[in-house]
Structure 1
Amino acid sequence: MATSVVIESLPFVFLGILISIAVQLWVPTRVIDALIPRSGMPRRAVLSLLGVVLPVCECGNVPLARGLMVRGFSVADSMTFLLAAPILNPVTLVTTYQAFGWENGILVARLVGGFVLANLVGWLVSLHPEPERLLTPSWIAACRVASTNSERPSLRRAALLFRDEMSAMLPALFFGAAIAGFIQVVISRDTLTAIGGHPVAGILALMALAVMIAICSNVDAFFALSLASTFSPGALVAFLVLGPMIDVKMLLMLGTTFRARTLAGVTLLVALGAFALGLGVNALV
């Protein structure tokens, strides 16, 4: 189980790191300023839509979000991108459509709910009076060193950045995958599906499953489809929204950048939002 999580995630981590390095070294500031609004909700809304043109799952978005912070993007900007991009990327859209189509509203609820929830969390993060306190001291120091580096972009510098990001991401990825694999073995899927018919408990069960099994957002819709006969549409939507934003693998990787207290707060907000979305979908269908 743990091996499959690593094999599934590793290519996207590589891709995310490569895109992050390209953004840090070779995308001019004037291009970023021309494409993205200067501040506030419009800026975060545009950043959350970057997933449409950057088809990287949640694992690859962690190094990419770190690269955005190095370029001067705020904690709120990066958090919004992190939460929204894996749901709004085109591969996720296509696979969710293939699994569920348009008719039952699951695809629309996933896309709209994910976009709104990510921007809501980003807005709440933006209200923090001292955003640096949300980050780990080691990451704050790394950002300061990067911002004062006057060395011209080069393949040598790109290789050094790649090495640094890999040394930060891979231990967290492997440890998170091991935890996810252990949980999958210990906790029986039958235990969760036994309560699938309950309108509230079913939502909570699939939310717990989403956090524990750490499935890539590009393929999680097919897993959710296998549960559609047991769980309510609201439970499926909660699973499809929460999983790409928060799971055990992601939490370990995010721990390289954000303090534990920050991650606890974001996890609570995302979980409450996904639960409310699931209840809303069940009330409407």
Structure 2
Amino acid sequence: MTTRIPGFTTRRVSVDGTELHFAIGGKGPPLLLLHGFPQTHLTWRSVAPALAEAYTVVCPDLPGYGDSGEPGEGVEHYSKRAMAATFAELMSTLGHQRFAVAGHDRGGLVAFRLALDHAERVTHLAVLDVLPAVDIFAALAGPSGVFAFHLYFLAHPEPLPERVIGADPAAFFGHFLDSWTKVPGALPDAVRAEYLQALKSPSVVHAICQDYRAGVFFDLEHDKEDKALGRTLDVPVLAMWQDPGETPLPFDPAVVWRSWAPGATTKALACGHFLPEERPEEVVAAVRGLLR
């Protein structure tokens, strides 16, 4: 990659056999920022420098995404439980036993799983424009499923999704980058091109498909088990999502997140899906408010 988060350095660390690429900057209490689909750690490029004024900010590429290596061939390696364990170990390697975590989209699911499975490690949790697997699949029915077709398509057994995407990765992933963005200029041409360059790699395409397969065949079951046990989050939680405007959502994100975290702070932002890139100042302010 050529684009960098201003003021941050990049490093590589092997964690449980997975080569993780990450950017790190700032000084103070540790804060882990996890990106979503179909992006890389650069989704935080306008958020991380501001947060680094008071925090040590760590921005990795998810396993298999961007410049991070694949965690293993089996789908189970892409479960959010497995990814959460990997990032808990990364933070230990960096000398941080307790830390805050914020995640967008797929990264939000990893952050959620970190707070559930490693409650003794996580001090604060922020989740951006995502719902746990058990809740999103329960909510999608009828026409709403059309707009979330990728959740089902990418989870199909290999090699069908990989072969279809491989015919024109830029067209497939560019569809999401363009149609999910509502704020003009939020994705500059250079950043968009960098995302698409990473997404040309067959290994990255495969990893993304594995991530979504794990969402159906592992994450969904893990969430069901936790919901049946009545597990909730005891740390301060912030949940933000895009304001759907005149098109109502088939669920209420505030109700969903308060079922997991009764005291959660919730906020809708006037933008598309990519909150950290479309409304970075508001994301920074909300995260600072959570961490105070």
TM-score, normalized by length of structure 2?
Answer: 0.32
- Which structure's relative contact order is higher, taking Cα pairs within 8 Å and 6+ residues apart? 1
Normalized per residue, the structure richer in strand is: 2
Normalized per residue, the structure richer in helix is: 1
Larger radius of gyration: 1
TM-score, normalized by length of structure 1?
Answer: 0.32
